[in-house]
């Protein structure tokens, strides 16, 4: 095959005859001229086919070619400043691998289809340029996230997915039968990586996590990917520094490599350029006061009750006050998980932090310093009505050389939604799992 290449690298072949392998994405005809658009997974490019310039059969084949038919295209690359990619291809030959039948046209047409229809055809929807661009950005977010820890002295230690106990509360567990014993799909690898942190110092895990979320929101999936660092001898202030540097690295990496994709997605990149550490840091009490002031001035409808967690409108209001993520620390211990270390200065507060993304995207990171006292942790497990037997191994970490340690988890889909500026997490993952969808 002559000079096989991809659309992403076509610029280095200007003036040459090249071969692309891909699919017919769109076709426009204007008299004796055809304008097919091809896609190959790396991008899209417009072809020009004047009837007089190609063999009759090539023109006729293309003219009646159905969308998403698979093709091998040969042609000459020509720079064109009007083309989105900067190049066009003067088609010389087309070989059809599989022609989509006229009776079963590609269901995702260029016209707008409803969200339910698109989700039902997610396996085909991902072929469209915007969805492909999102998936490429997602891949870079995942790579940059892992790379940040890999290059900063962390060891990746992935926890099991099948677990005997809850990490983040029992109401959202997926239960399964494990050879006549009860087991659960993991909600977070945290408890396990606390143990690998005490073995290896700085560790992280990266994998799918599961929550039987009964709520239908634009932020919740039942299966999502979480990256979680855990660090021995680390306390809350150092954890917050880690989180802000980590997020800055991810956003700056996406900006460096995905300008074209962000343009296809329609993202305002000026909103991302400001994302550099340090981030603003406020306590729960300060955030509550901010909401009180806003309520008194009539800027928000619902009054926040002191002691409660923040609702999604609260988080939106708080995050809208800043041009970068805001870190809210020291929530009331009562609304947080059992394993969080109390603040020595006010034990009703937990040494925890939530990172709220700008533009109303809400919480992207949740983390904390962990209880390091054996007696306190044991009491917390009992207070939360958790089965002590299932946590004996976890208590061992406080029996044998316990140290202060901290970690956080970032949901990849929340990060993708924010960085790409998407309305809903269903577009952030190849196949979203939600309350009422498990197909395809």
Given the rule CB under 6 A, which residues bind ligand 4AD? 167-168, 188, 190, 211, 213, 220-221, 224, 226, 228, 363-367, 407-411, 413-414
Closer residue to ligand 4AD, CB minimum distance, 61 or 190: 190
Closer residue to ligand 4AD, CB minimum distance, 18 or 365: 365
* Interacting residues of 96 by C-beta distance below 8 A, sequence separation 6+: 61, 65, 69, 70, 71
Collapse the DSSP code of 340 into the 3-class scheme (helix H, G, I; strand E, B; otherwise coil) and give the result: strand
Sheet holding 281-283, edge to edge: 155-156, 202-210, 223-232, 405-411, 362-369, 352-357, 326-329, 281-283
CB of 407 closer than 8 Å to CB of 238: no
| Torsion, Cα of 281, 283, 288, 291 (10° steps) | -10
CA distances from 63 to 18, 35, 59, 77, 275 (A): 21, 9, 6, 21, 48
Minimum CB separation from ligand 4AD for residue 212, in Å? 9
Q: Detail the DSSP E strand segments found in 233-361.
A: 281-283, 326-329, 342-343, 346-350, 352-357
With CB atoms as reference, the residue minimizing the distance to Mg ion is: 366
For residue 4, the 8-state DSSP code is B
Minimum CB separation from ligand 4AD for residue 8, in Å? 30
With CB atoms as reference, the residue minimizing the distance to ligand 4AD is: 366
Query: Of these partners, ligand 4AD, Mg ion, none, which one is at the site of residue 220 (CB under 5 to 8 Å by kind)?
Result: ligand 4AD
Q: Are strands 281-283 and 223-232 parallel, antiparallel or unpaired?
A: unpaired
Minimum CB separation from ligand 4AD for residue 225, in Å? 9
Closest CA to 352 of 254, 403, 272, 283: 283
Collapse the DSSP code of 216 into the 3-class scheme (helix H, G, I; strand E, B; otherwise coil) and give the result: coil
Query: Of these partners, Mg ion, ligand 4AD, none, which one is at the site of residue 211 (CB under 5 to 8 Å by kind)?
Result: ligand 4AD
The residue written with tokens 């093709």 in the block is: 71
CA–CA gap between residue 420 and residue 239 (Å, rounded): 26
Closer residue to ligand 4AD, CB minimum distance, 25 or 408: 408
Query: Of these partners, ligand 4AD, Mg ion, none, which one is at the site of residue 427 (CB under 5 to 8 Å by kind)?
Result: none
Query: Of these partners, Mg ion, ligand 4AD, none, which one is at the site of residue 47 (CB under 5 to 8 Å by kind)?
Result: none
**Per-residue binder mask for Mg ion (CB under 5 A), 345-374, x = binder:** ---------------------x--------
Q: Detail the DSSP E strand segments found in 238-341.
A: 281-283, 326-329
DSSP letters along 362-424, please?
EEEEEEEEBP--HHHHHHHHHHTT--GGGGHHHHHHHHSS---EEEEEEEHHHHHHHHHT-S-
Query: Of these partners, Mg ion, ligand 4AD, none, which one is at the site of residue 428 (CB under 5 to 8 Å by kind)?
Result: none
Minimum CB separation from Mg ion for residue 315, in Å? 11
Minimum CB separation from ligand 4AD for residue 217, in Å? 9
Q: Is 36 in the site for Mg ion (CB under 5 A)?
A: no
Query: Of these partners, ligand 4AD, Mg ion, none, which one is at the site of residue 157 (CB under 5 to 8 Å by kind)?
Result: none
CB of 405 closer than 8 Å to CB of 197: yes
Query: Of these partners, Mg ion, ligand 4AD, none, which one is at the site of residue 232 (CB under 5 to 8 Å by kind)?
Result: none
Count of Cβ atoms closer than 10 Å to residue 360 Cβ: 15
Minimum CB separation from Mg ion for residue 350, in Å? 11
Minimum CB separation from ligand 4AD for residue 328, in Å? 12
Closer residue to ligand 4AD, CB minimum distance, 43 or 358: 358
Minimum CB separation from Mg ion for residue 158, in Å? 21
CB of 285 closer than 8 Å to CB of 329: no
Query: Of these partners, ligand 4AD, Mg ion, none, which one is at the site of residue 39 (CB under 5 to 8 Å by kind)?
Result: none
Minimum CB separation from ligand 4AD for residue 188, in Å? 3
**Phi, psi angle pair for 263, to nearest 5°:** -70, -45
Closer residue to Mg ion, CB minimum distance, 36 or 409: 409
Closer residue to Mg ion, CB minimum distance, 358 or 366: 366
Query: Of these partners, Mg ion, ligand 4AD, none, which one is at the site of residue 410 (CB under 5 to 8 Å by kind)?
Result: ligand 4AD
Minimum CB separation from Mg ion for residue 63, in Å? 56
Taking each continuous run of H as one helix and of E as one strand, the counts in the chain are 13, 18
Q: What are the residues binding Mg ion (CB under 5 A)?
A: 366
């Amino acid at each position: 095959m002559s000079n096989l290449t991809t659309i992403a690298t076509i610029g280095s072949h200007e003036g040459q005859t090249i071969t692309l392998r891909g699919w017919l994405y769109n076709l426009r005809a204007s008299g004796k001229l055809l304008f097919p658009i091809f896609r190959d997974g790396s991008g899209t490019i417009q072809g020009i086919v004047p009837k007089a310039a190609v063999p009759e059969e090539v023109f006729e084949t293309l003219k009646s070619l159905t969308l998403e038919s698979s093709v091998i295209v040969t042609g000459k690359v020509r720079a064109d400043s009007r083309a989105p990619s900067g190049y066009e291809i003067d088609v010389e030959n087309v070989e059809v691998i599989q022609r989509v039948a006229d009776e079963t046209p590609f269901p995702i047409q260029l016209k707008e289809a409803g969200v339910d229809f698109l989700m039902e055809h997610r396996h085909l929807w991902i072929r469209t340029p915007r969805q492909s661009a999102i998936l490429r950005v997602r891949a870079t977010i995942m790579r940059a996230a892992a790379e940040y820890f890999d290059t900063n002295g962390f060891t990746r230690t992935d926890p099991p997915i099948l677990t005997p106990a809850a990490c983040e509360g029992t109401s959202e567990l997926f239960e399964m039968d494990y050879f006549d014993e009860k087991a659960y799909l993991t909600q977070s690898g945290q408890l396990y990586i606390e143990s690998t942190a005490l073995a290896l110092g700085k560790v992280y895990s990266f994998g799918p996590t599961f929550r039987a979320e009964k709520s239908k929101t634009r932020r919740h999936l039942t299966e999502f990917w979480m990256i979680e660092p855990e660090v021995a001898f680390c306390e809350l202030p150092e954890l917050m520094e880690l989180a802000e540097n980590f997020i800055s690295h991810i956003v700056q990496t996406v900006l460096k490599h995905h300008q074209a994709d962000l343009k296809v997605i329609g993202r305002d990149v000026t909103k991302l350029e400001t994302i550099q550490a340090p981030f603003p840091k406020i306590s729960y009490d300060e955030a509550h006061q901010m909401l009180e002031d806003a309520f008194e001035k009539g800027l928000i409808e619902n009054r926040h009750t002191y002691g409660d967690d923040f609702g999604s409108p609260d988080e939106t209001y708080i995050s809208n006050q800043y041009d970068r993520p805001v870190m809210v620390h020291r929530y009331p211990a009562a609304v947080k998980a059992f394993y969080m270390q109390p603040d020595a200065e006010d034990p009703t507060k937990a040494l925890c932090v939530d990172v709220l993304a700008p533009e109303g995207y809400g919480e992207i990171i949740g983390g904390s310093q962990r209880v390091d006292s054996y007696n306190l942790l044991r009491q917390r497990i009992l207070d939360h009505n958790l089965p002590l037997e299932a946590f004996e191994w976890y208590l061992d970490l406080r029996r044998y050389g316990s140290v202060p340690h901290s970690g956080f988890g970032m949901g990849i889909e929340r990060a993708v939604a924010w960085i790409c500026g998407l309305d809903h997490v269903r577009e952030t993952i190849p196949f979203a799992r939600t309350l009422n969808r498990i197909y395809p």
